[in-house]
Amino acid sequence: MVIEPTPSKTTKAKEVALPKSISISASGSSAGGDITVSHSDTTLSTKLKGKATKLDLPPLLRNDRNYKFTKNVLPSLLLWYGDEGNVWSISEEDVIHVLKAIIQVVYPMFDRFDEIHHGTAIYGLTIQRLTRWRHNFASTAVVLVLDFFKENSDLNIETFCNILLEDQAFAYEDLDTSDSTKAFRSSLVLELLSTAHLQQVDGWVDVPALQLAEKHACGIKGALAMSTAALERAIKAVREYAMSGEDTITDQLAGIRRKGKAAVKTPRSLSKASGKESSATSQFSQLNWGEKTGFYLASISNRDAHALQEIVSIAREMCAG
């Protein structure tokens, strides 16, 4: 059974249909790239310059030797964001509302809430972290796929990528697309969810107003959709790369083992000639992958809390392992 959402009255089926072909490379945008933020009903692209630092924070946060802004506030915000329906864009109002709710719990003595708005260090550091969270799905997905083929060197990369992509088999446990309950339970999906999201929310604090305890148990809709979309992109990229010459992909595989997963950064391109992105269509962006992310999100949203909690539990076991 192919992963397929039940079209709602407001969403036409053709709007979430799988594209027949996509031209991409296995590259993600840099952590200082664009994130779409909505300001007063106007959507714009905010270029993050990376200028905001901890030293720019208000004194209570800046002088905190326990670094709770980084270790507790931002992980709590990621926990909330990972369950959001539209993980490609976010309204300024939502960011501010969530930040205030979390900071009230983490820093009960904080009273400078007028400093939480667009243009301030608190807001800037938050958007930078959300952007980095999103890009990590793309880069980590490529590393996982390359590592998979390193461990299964007897497989023909192009042929097996086609098998993985048919009916989104890569997202199913044991590649069994005949059983819908196995969707979003493949080892690749679970490991990416674990690495790019679950490990990133360690340090979260319970904020009853945001229902973070419930989200910690099963609130992964957005993060799971991002994981699945990023893996599809990575598999297609690796397939195209293999078609251009498997000797070059072997070098990438060797690099993973030589440097280790944690140290490896995804190359900005799989181009043998330049090592750079060949076009904007290669980026893991809302323009290129927003529709596909929405496709997976619609299917994930059809699953109940118990099913999502099982996925979270299995993924967390992989973290511990």
Q: What is the pLDDT of residues 251-298, one digit of tens each?
A: 655 554 444 443 333 344 444 444 454 445 578 999 999 999 999 999
**Residue pLDDT, tens place only, 208-240:** 999 999 999 999 999 999 999 999 999 999 998
Range with lowest mean pLDDT among 67-71, 174-178, 247-251: 247-251
What gap in Å lies between CA 184 and CA 172, rounded to an integer? 6
Is residue 195 in some structural domain? Answer: yes
pLDDT at 169: 98
Report the largest interatomic distance among the alpha carbons of the chain, rounded to a whole angstrom.
61
Residue pair 133/77 in contact by the 8 Å Cβ criterion: no
Mean pLDDT (whole number) for 85-113: 94
pLDDT at 61: 95
Sheet holding 42-47, edge to edge: 42-47, 34-39, 89-91
What pLDDT digit, counting tens, does each position of 176-205 carry? 999 999 999 999 999 999 999 999 999 999
Query: Is 7 inside a domain boundary?
Result: no
Q: How many domains does the chain have?
A: 1
The answer to whether position 54 is within a domain reads yes
Specify the pLDDT at position 39.
Answer: 40
Confidence band of 243 (pLDDT split at 50, 70, 90):
confident
Q: Which residues contact 219 (CB under 8 A, 6 or more apart)?
A: 79, 80, 82, 83, 211, 308
- Would you state the torsion angle of the CA atoms of residues 266, 228, 310, 194, taken in this order, to the nearest 10 degrees? 10
Cα dihedral across residues 309, 314, 318, 320: positive or negative:
positive
Does residue 18 lie within any of the structural domains?
Answer: no
Q: Is residue 272 domain-resident?
A: yes
pLDDT recorded at residue 298? 97
Which ranges constitute the DSSP H helices of the chain?
Answer: 59-62, 68, 74-81, 92-106, 121-151, 157-165, 187-196, 212-218, 221-244, 246-259, 286-301, 305-320
> Residues for the chain: how many in total?
321
Q: What is the mean pLDDT of residues 39-62?
A: 64
- Provide the pLDDT for residue 320: 76
Q: Quickly tell me which residue has 């059974």 as its tokens.
A: 1
State the residue range of the domain holding 238.
25-320
Three-state secondary structure call for residue 234: helix
Q: The tokens of 301 are what?
A: 């949203």
89: three-class secondary structure by DSSP = strand
Distances (CA, A) of 307 to 227, 293, 310, 315: 17, 19, 5, 13
pTM of the shown model: 0.80
What the block records as the tokens of 288 is 């290129």
Q: Is residue 281 part of a domain?
A: yes
Mean pLDDT along residues 42-46: 35
Arithmetic mean of pLDDT, 36-59: 59
Q: What is the dihedral of CA 296, 227, 124, 89, to 10 degrees?
A: -10
Terminal Cα-to-Cα distance of the chain (whole angstroms): 30
Please report whether residue 6 resides in a domain.
no
CA 124 → CA 38, 128, 190, distances in Å? 14, 6, 30
pLDDT of residue 102: 98
Mean per-residue pLDDT of the chain: 80
Name the DSSP class of 86.
Answer: -
